[in-house]
Structure 1
């Protein structure tokens, strides 16, 4: 019995270090392996092992690309710091008549997207699973003919639930819970909407660039557990900024560059502590920049004025990231995600956690 348990533990440790693609194949080997790999506890351990290394060039971090010029969504894996390969992502709810797919956010391997026919989807690019999010009443969530909305997608760890936040231009705030598989109206948006960019998830909250009236911009945060808004103040010297992001697990803001280019941005080293804002200076001037992730050896992947570049913070040099499989010169939208076994049908497992607690 002891030897049998030892062998099982060794098998589990081996399986935890395999890619999602390999694990999906191994589920066909035997019933016991299928049950093990499908077990929510194994899925969480598999994810936790991957997230110990937050470098974008590690085995299971990926980029996702979409473009109005391309008929599909692409997953991008790294060959080296400056080389990557893109492959088409096929999923069950994919339709040829979807003219454009817009990223809302990604979390634990789940990608939330909106498509122009009015569909909101949860996709796991690694397992190729997808599920449509129920529509809010008779409203079509994302069409050019309807009022636009501002979105945010994230995970509330303390309650083990994934939530999608939807804010109308009139200020109504709706929250979709994956665990409950339903929408609720939770109040009014307490800020002035400045742009319809999707919110940034960090520390169990969604963040947007907003203002209280005509004042300088601030960051409005929505706590996914308490479902309440609170302010995140920018550095005292920064009055206007066009965007926010996550850089090395820190919240960051990007200066307003409507008139002149910038070569700096700010990161909040201690989340929620205004005094921890720190300026980061790079050698590349830019009008629009989005940090995508960090490599090992003091490198970072940045989207700068429509190009993906690998920037070296030691010597200030940069190299274009060449992606094989994507035409050169097209404009695209990019999102990061991590390979995981988490399913868009996760609400069944989430509800099981409730019954077991």
Structure 2
């Protein structure tokens, strides 16, 4: 390897998983320096985003024990590599335990957690690096929407909390608190969403420079719009209509596309999945499938849903503790994944990308 040009070595290493690269830091000083370089972490992350043959998305399940789930491996029948146990981040120096209360966001391998003692913590499950944040002003026990995003103009990560409960008396005002990783501080900006209500207690998806939340117009009883928040400009953008009116719905990212999964009515209805490759007011949606909702055993605890490369839907149904479902809508076939859990049966979950991004 020492005879290869440096750029070739770098290119080869960007294809490797984060777990292997962390071990390779012990090979020699030059490799340790290279793999620890923030620029290499960016190249490694860019490769994961751009190469469809690389599988680095994982489902993080806050059960007891904590699990990282490779749902593409599960889809391929590779059960031996599907579930990996992780250790909780010990971000509290006075406490050996760490229980997840809520996931508040996920971006580029960094996950934001609200633990059960109301501490907000950033954590990279791949590197095991964690950072406790100072507390925001807003209460995370009221109606709020959260998210984690990357500002390319400043090369910085931002944690966002939007809460109408802590805004002014004007009904369209939203108080937004923004934490920037580089400054390690929170600041408050005022936002306005005339005629739109944000979905509560839901963390947004970061896509193409914006955090995306679900919302509804005041006159609507169902979720009917996506509300984008520009991470760089720190302001709300024009709402984008959903392809249908949903009783319950979730957003997710599949490859470079935005997905929305939703149930049309509370009972006896259809479950639909839609996909968009571009985003904006004139977003073009493509319906992937529609199936009777009872085929997926949906209930009020169902939250996370993601699309595998084979077109299967991964359903994290919190109403069936310890069970993940892979459903193939074309073949009408299910695979059940059992997750060991000795803690609270109604655990939290979040998607993250294995990465080397540092919190320093």
Shorter-chain TM-score tier: 0.7 to 0.9
Query: CA RMSD for the aligned pairs?
Result: 3.1
Unaligned stretches of 5+ residues in structure 1 = 346-357
The one of the two structures with greater contact order (alpha-carbon pairs below 8 A, sep at least 6) is 1
1:160 paired with 2:155, answer: yes
Question: Partner residue of 2:250?
Answer: 244
Question: Partner residue of 2:353?
Answer: 338
Shift in Å at residue 61 of structure 1?
2.3
Equivalent positions of 1:252-331 (< 5 A) are 252-274=260-282, 276-283=284-291, 285=293, 286=296, 287-288=298-299, 290=303, 292-304=305-317, 306=320, 307-323=323-339, 325-326=340-341, 330-331=345-346
Q: For each residue in 1:232-287, what CA deviation from the matched residue of structure 2 results, as whole angstroms up to 9, or x when unmatched?
A: 33347x34443331253214252354233423233334322546123332445243
- Range with bigger deviation, 20-29 or 239-248: 239-248
1:18 paired with 2:21, answer: no
Q: For each residue in 1:162-191, what CA deviation from the matched residue of structure 2 results, as whole angstroms up to 9, or x when unmatched?
A: 111112323321111123322111113524
1:181 paired with 2:184, answer: yes
Question: Partner residue of 2:134?
Answer: 134
TM-score, normalising length from structure 1? 0.80
Unaligned stretches of 5+ residues in structure 2 = 168-174
Change (3 A) 1:232 1:321: farther
Report the secondary structure of 1:210's partner residue.
strand
Change (3 A) 1:90 1:334: closer
Q: For each residue in 1:283-302, what CA deviation from the matched residue of structure 2 results, as whole angstroms up to 9, or x when unmatched?
A: 45243555643333333423
Shift in Å at residue 15 of structure 1?
2.5
Write the distance in 1 (CA, Å) between the matches of 2:119 and 2:208: 27
Change (3 A) 1:232 1:265: farther
Write the distance in 2 (CA, Å) between the matches of 1:63 and 1:228: 29
Write the distance in 2 (CA, Å) between the matches of 1:250 and 1:47: 19
Write the distance in 2 (CA, Å) between the matches of 1:329 and 1:152: 24
Question: Partner residue of 1:77?
Answer: 70
Write the distance in 1 (CA, Å) between the matches of 2:44 and 2:276: 29
Write the distance in 2 (CA, Å) between the matches of 1:314 and 1:328: 35
Shift in Å at residue 107 of structure 1?
1.1
Correspondence for 2:59 among 51, 63, 81: 63
Contact 2:238–2:281 under 8 Å retained in 1: no
Contact 1:245–1:290 under 8 Å retained in 2: no
Write the distance in 2 (CA, Å) between the matches of 1:273 and 1:73: 39
Q: For each residue in 1:173-232, what CA deviation from the matched residue of structure 2 results, as whole angstroms up to 9, or x when unmatched?
A: 111112332211111352434422122222211122223434454222111112121233
Contact 1:54–1:294 under 8 Å retained in 2: no
Change (3 A) 1:4 1:303: closer
Shift in Å at residue 155 of structure 1?
1.7
TM-score, normalising length from structure 2? 0.79
